Structure 1
Amino acid sequence: MQISTLSELYNRLLPAFKTKKNDFKKEGIEIRELDLWNYLKENVWKNNRNLTLYEMINDIFNVDINKLNSYINKTK
């Protein structure tokens, strides 16, 4: 399956973002799917090309909450 826009990619990854958001919520941490998307897009995937969907989903599930929180605090 070819994904040609960032919007398509976001929608394809949205179930993983929702799952990770719910995992954080169980730990008492409120995060938006868009925060996860923007953090990963701007910090983890920025210089990577030809990532597989598997690699991106793996990054979502293994995101470092401290780095994510730091990113969110900087962008507010």
Structure 2
Amino acid sequence: MVKSVHEWKEEVFPALESKASEFRLMGYDKVTAEDIWNCLNEKVWKNNPSKRLFEIVQDILRLSSNVYMSYLTINAHQDDNLMASIAALTKKES
């Protein structure tokens, strides 16, 4: 059966937990299943494609630490830019 990626989330949660556990063993202490899901959505499943269950699980289990680190780095830069923008706006208002 083919469904959009987001429709499979509940069914693949054990695989997400497994990948998060694997990454925690590699030293990513704070990674969660939700982090893995968000990373895959941004890096692998852009535009919510339709896939079969085994394809989703395969994508989860194949997620490399390099892709995850890239995701974290980009998000950290975006957060820094957002914080700088907020600081600039609040400074002007003061």
Q: TM-score under structure 2 normalisation? A: 0.64
Higher-strand-fraction structure: 2
Shift, 1:73, TM fit: 2.2
1:16 matched to 2:18 = no
Distance, in Å, in 2 between the alignment partners of 1:38 and 1:4 is 15
Structure 1 residue aligned with 2:53: 53
Deviation beyond 6 Å, 4+ runs, structure 1: none
What is residue 73 of structure 2 aligned with on the other side?
A: 73
Q: Aligned pair count?
A: 75
Q: Between 65-74 and 41-50, report the one with greater CA deviation.
A: 41-50
Greater C-alpha Rg: 2
Give the % identical residues.
Answer: 33
Q: Say whether the 8 Å CA contact 1:35–1:72 is kept in structure 2.
A: no
> TM-score, normalized by length of structure 1?
0.76
Q: CA RMSD in A?
A: 2.5
Cα distance between partner residues in 2 of 1:26 and 1:68: 14
TM-superposed deviation, 1:47: 4.7
| Structure 2 unaligned regions, length at least 5 | 77-94
